[in-house]
Amino acid sequence: MEEQIKNYILDLGVDDVGFARMEDYQSPKSYAITSFLPSAKSVIVLAYKPLSSCESPSMTAAQNGYLDLGSFARSSSYQIARYLERTHNAKVATLPVAYPLDIQDDRKAIADFSQRHAAVAAGLGSFGRHNLVIHPRFGTRVIFTSIITNLSLQPSPKCEEFCTHCNLCVENCPARALDEEGKTDVVRCLSHSQPYGLIADITFQMQRLGSQPEEQKQMLTGAQYARLRQSAHLGNQYMCYNCLKSCPLGLA
Ligand code: B12
Ligand code: SF4
Ligand code: SF4
């Protein structure tokens, strides 16, 4: 059954796949796997390699490459989940690249489900110094989605450690968000990676509320407001991938 499922997934164009037993997914800050699917037994993790255009000097091309990847990942997950239900009579729950997540006041920027821990459990990589998962072939240039299922699947073998501790990712982070080993400073990273994300939106709205009507008019017709709207409409616009791009692992 594992081989049949794997072949179906790879034929869709997904770059790699791994299987984990529910018990092997260990992420203390995430919700229990059974909260997504009470009859859960396994997690199927899908790996997608971004297009080379994601490293284009043009932010428009890079952003579009990631948006394409996000759409492909969403559609692939859905097709695979439908295939599992149809062909294997399975129960499934699909977990996304990033959103939606259960936003709570005490869980800001913490997702319900950890794709990184799922990827490690499914033998698709190991953690690096940049707190990202390094895939044996693609290095850090890889994004994950997962499907939780009630099927009992033979787990994939775990990966060895790949990080060479060269420190390039830490040195190339413009926000110094990776200085403390094992921790990403979320606020620092966000300020560089999502200049048109939620925090920027709140800052803009606060400034607008404190401004005179004529100033407000200028703010609402300016480029910053248009950027915020574009980002909110299309999904988060990530403007920094330095940690991911500076890692030499996986480069041919
Ligand atoms: C919210 C979020 C962010 C937030 C906050 C991240 C954070 N809290 O660390 C911000 C905006 C900062 C962010 C930034 C980035 N993100 Co992000 N992000 C997410 C998202 C949606 C949820 C993360 C989360 O809260 N998970 C729940 C927590 C409990 O688990 P966790 O993710 O595994 O995080 C913890 C552990 O990893 C642990 N940890 C870290 N290192 C190590 C090492 C070891 C050995 C162990 C045991 C644990 C451990 O510390 C983390 C915090 O508690 C995930 C998708 C997802 N659902 O997983 C993507 C995800 C983690 N992001 C991803 C990427 C690519 C990025 C960016 C490069 C993109 C960008 N430009 O913004 C940067 C990289 C920043 C970095 N070097 O850490 C990818 C990572 C792929 C990979 N190869 O690993 C993910 C998995 C998206 C995906 N579907 O592929 N992200
Ligand atoms: S995405 Fe950019 S700001 Fe965030 S940790 Fe990586 S290099 Fe630093
Ligand atoms: S850049 Fe170097 S230190 Fe950072 S994750 Fe890659 S190999 Fe490890």
pLDDT digits (tens, 9 = 90+) for 93-102: 999 999 898 9
Ligand 2 in reach of 175 Cβ (< 6 A): yes
Which residue in 73, 50, 79 sits closest to 62, CA to CA?
50
* Res. 125 pLDDT band, cuts 50 70 90: very high
Ligand 2 in reach of 190 Cβ (< 6 A): no
What mean pLDDT comes out for the span 170-175? 97
pLDDT higher than 80, residue 237:
no
The sign of the CA dihedral 62, 240, 183, 102 is negative
Instruction: Give the pLDDT of residue 50.
Output: 96
**Rounded to whole angstroms, how far apart are CA atoms 197 and 220?**
17
First to last CA, the chain: 33
CA 11 to ligand 2 center in whole angstroms: 33
Ligand 2 in reach of 242 Cβ (< 6 A): yes
Instruction: Give the pLDDT of residue 234.
Output: 86
Of 39-48, 137-146, 161-170, 232-241, least confident by mean pLDDT is 232-241
Beta strands in the chain (DSSP E): 16-21, 42-48, 92-95, 126-127, 133-134, 143-149
Instruction: Give the pLDDT of residue 235.
Output: 78
What mean pLDDT comes out for the span 232-240? 83
pLDDT tens-digit profile of 191-234? 899 999 888 999 999 999 999 999 999 999 999 999 999 998 88
Instruction: Give the pLDDT of residue 238.
Output: 84
Q: Which residue has the higher pLDDT, 250 or 85?
A: 85
Ligand 3 in reach of 130 Cβ (< 6 A): yes
* Res. 107 pLDDT band, cuts 50 70 90: confident
Cα three-residue angle 81-46-189, rounded to 5 degrees? 120
Nearest ligand for residue 181 CA = 1
Nearest ligand for residue 168 CA = 3
Predicted structure pTM score: 0.94
Domain boundaries, the chain: 2-164, 169-243
* Res. 108 pLDDT band, cuts 50 70 90: confident
What mean pLDDT comes out for the span 157-185? 96
What mean pLDDT comes out for the span 134-159? 97
